Amino acid sequence: MAAAATSARSAAPSSQPVRVVLRVRPFLPSEATSAAAPCVSLLGSHPGSEVTVQLKDQHTSRSEHYKLDAFFGQEDSISQIFDREVSTVIQGIFEGVNATVFAYGATGSGKTYTMQGTEDFPGLIPLAASTVLALCTGTWCSVEISYYEVYMERCYDLLEPKAKEIMALDDKDGNMQLKGLSWVPVRSMEEFQELYSIGVQRRKVAHTGLNDVSSRSHAVLSLRVSADVVKGRINLIDLAGSEDNRRTFNEGIRLQESAKINQSLFTLSNVISALNKNELRIPYRESKLTRILQDSLGGSSRAVMIACLNPAEYQESVNTVSLAARSRHIGNFTSSASKQETPKVKVDMEAKLRAWLESKGKTKSIQRMDGLFSPIASKTPFSVSHMKQPASSRISCRSKAMDQDGGKIKKILFDPEVHVPTEKIPREHMQNEVNTPKKVLPSVTQCKEKHEASLRKALSPISSNVVPTNQQISDNVNCAILLEPQTPIETSKIEKIPGATLLDKFNALGSNLKEALVQQYLDFLNVANKEELQQLKGIGVRRAEYILELREESPTPFKTLADLENIGLSSKQIQDILRKTASGIFK
Ligand SMILES: Nc1ncnc2c1ncn2[C@@H]1O[C@H](COP(=O)(O)OP(=O)(O)OP(=O)(O)O)[C@@H](O)[C@H]1O
């Protein structure tokens, strides 16, 4: 019998490295009338092990079941979550066991409320701070905090007056260090609250004017306990909201932001999944967030993932819970009753791909796949790190860093809705605004209607790109550039680098176009319908169907070119496809 979504049930914490728990927020006043019942409910729990939850779409009766470590319903308080899930890991940091607690979920699902709370109902962050401080009282232990955000794979110190960017560098042991990150001692809750609330405001001030960036960054509050030497640390993270770009219609810089968010969340899930499966290779290095958290995720560290749900959003909840369940490496299953309602039953995708490859006699692909799924698999030669790290150099690295600044400036220039007080724009951005020739930059709105069409056109069957009219050529080329809006800023900035040559400038442009093409190709695979997919070279009916099934599992299964191995495309095939697409544009 299904228990009400509001009952508090949770399994006692286990010794697994990462616990994955569900948190359903109450309906907001604006949602109360539109949804009679929450889309998620607790089906059963087994003390000491796990819970089973049901997600049900009120409109279609479609339903899915998942197993997780604990369930917190609409009436459960944050302090209940704290007592059951967080207080135990706090004890560990005094014994040198690092911990990470993070809230994951779609925008508006209650992550910030859970982590930050309100004045009347403090969230997990203030509760953790007060517990740590209380445990230090009367001991030699001292407490320090740091607070930073990861935005577009770059880190900003929120305890510094100007949300200073901090560099993430490997130390001699291969561990990531945030160079220059402030660690501020706190002795009381008053001191903590003062620092924390300033940091929270800074997070908003730093990026709100640049279009909702506060919900587009991962914010990490760390508490570090030391006696003579550092004992341990807990990271409390309010992750950026996951996004489905088919629904948000993101484009331009927002699409890039969203891609980075989804990519880093996907990597985080892969890391957790690999940890829970005890794999030898943990893909920490595939995102900034997981690199930074490497010493707090895995090894002897403990972590708790709190998957937050909006009770009124079925599909969004399915996306969140399926990723959470995948992180826990406990596959979801569909009840026989709902199998009839739900034609697309979840299956083991790896087994399915294997069977499909076998049926096609693709033994080489199966061997490749074996390598891919092996725990000691090495990176594919065509992995994203290769794509994003131009062979040369210093100039290219710098140009990549500038790329993002350029994006922000452009947003300010072209979005009439955005009014950023000049004192809130970092000085280097103001400098760029003055120097950036507005006229030559393409407007996002001009490109808006062309965006999808040009994307489809650029990636349409190779044959249709072969003899475009002159107009088509210019449309394609323009849109390739429009879709990579930073390029004009990029090249103008390259010019200012002492010693930069014309060749550096050209290389920077080429590298950006290549990245843009790759990104568009991946985006296309993430959004195109079956017919459109089939028109792509190398993707027939079966592969198109398989792609759609992968998208059922995860809203954006293709984050990097390496993900294309999952559909049985070799790196050589991918290179050929992209090369032909690019040459089609310039014919
Ligand atoms: N347990 C709760 N009780 C009451 N209101 C809640 C609760 N959880 C969330 N809310 C409300 O729901 C709304 C969305 O919550 P919140 O801002 O925390 O979402 P979020 O996931 O952090 O979104 P974003 O990704 O955009 O930052 C807010 O108005 C918040 O006050």
> What does the block give as tokens for 149?
């955000």
Cβ neighbour number for residue 48 with a 10 Å cutoff = 9
| 111 annotated ligand binder | yes
What Rg value do the Cα atoms of the chain yield, rounded?
Answer: 24
From CA 281, how far away is CA 378, in angstroms rounded?
A: 9
For the CA of 118, the closest atom of ligand 1 is 31
For residue 532, what are the CA distances in angstroms to 292, 457, 528, 548, 551? Answer: 39, 10, 6, 12, 15
Cβ neighbour number for residue 30 with a 10 Å cutoff = 8
pLDDT of residue 143: 96
Nearest CA to ligand 1 atom 16: 110
Helix (H) or strand (E) holding 179: strand 176-179
From CA 117, how far away is CA 382, in angstroms rounded?
A: 43
Q: Is residue 6 a contact partner of residue 75, using CB atoms and an 8 Å limit? A: yes
Q: Is the CB of 123 under 6 A from ligand 1?
A: no
Rounded to the nearest whole angstrom, what is the distance from the C-alpha of residue 108 to the centroid of ligand 1? 5
> What does the block give as tokens for 197?
């609330």
| 109 annotated ligand binder | yes
The C-alpha torsion from 497 through 502 and 508 to 510, rounded to 10°, is 170
Burial tier of 510 (Cβ tally within 10 Å: 0-12, 13-18, 19+): exposed
For the CA of 103, the closest atom of ligand 1 is 21
Q: Among 74, 10, 78, which residue's Cα sits nearest to residue 44? A: 10
From CA 529, how far away is CA 541, in angstroms rounded?
A: 11
From CA 301, how far away is CA 297, in angstroms rounded?
A: 6
For the CA of 215, the closest atom of ligand 1 is 27
pLDDT of residue 26: 92
Rounded to the nearest whole angstrom, what is the distance from the C-alpha of residue 212 to the centroid of ligand 1? 15
Rounded to the nearest whole angstrom, what is the distance from the C-alpha of residue 308 to the centroid of ligand 1? 9
Q: Is the CB of 112 under 6 A from ligand 1?
A: yes
Backbone φ and ψ for 457, nearest 5 degrees, come out as: -65, -45
Which alpha helices (H) appear in 172-222, and where do they start and end? 189-207
Strands 99-105 and 302-309: parallel
Domain locations in the chain as residue ranges = 8-340, 384-586
Which residues does 326 contact at the CB level (< 8 Å), separation at least 6?
Answer: 269, 273, 553, 554
Q: Is the CB of 207 under 6 A from ligand 1?
A: no
Q: Domain 8-340 is in which class?
A: alpha beta
For the CA of 116, the closest atom of ligand 1 is 18
ipTM of predicted assembly, 2 dp: 0.99
Residue 144 DSSP SS3: strand
Low-confidence ranges of the chain (pLDDT < 50): 1-13, 205-214, 330-352, 365, 368-495
Rounded to the nearest whole angstrom, what is the distance from the C-alpha of residue 113 to the centroid of ligand 1? 5
Nearest CA to ligand 1 atom 26: 107
Q: Is the CB of 113 under 6 A from ligand 1?
A: yes
> What does the block give as tokens for 13?
């914490």
Q: Is residue 305 a contact partner of residue 298, using CB atoms and an 8 Å limit? A: no
pLDDT of residue 114: 96
From CA 151, how far away is CA 19, in angstroms rounded?
A: 26
Burial tier of 228 (Cβ tally within 10 Å: 0-12, 13-18, 19+): exposed
Q: Is the CB of 116 under 6 A from ligand 1?
A: no
> What does the block give as tokens for 585?
């544009």
Cβ neighbour number for residue 295 with a 10 Å cutoff = 17
Cβ neighbour number for residue 195 with a 10 Å cutoff = 20
> What does the block give as tokens for 118?
């309100």
Rounded to the nearest whole angstrom, what is the distance from the C-alpha of residue 386 to the centroid of ligand 1? 38
| 112 annotated ligand binder | yes
For residue 580, what are the CA distances in angstroms to 287, 468, 512, 561? Answer: 29, 14, 18, 16
From CA 414, how far away is CA 246, in angstroms rounded?
A: 23
Give the pLDDT confidence of 295-315 residue by residue, as tens digits: 777 777 888 999 999 998 898
Q: Among 234, 196, 200, which residue's Cα sits nearest to residue 215? A: 200
> What does the block give as tokens for 115?
């982590």
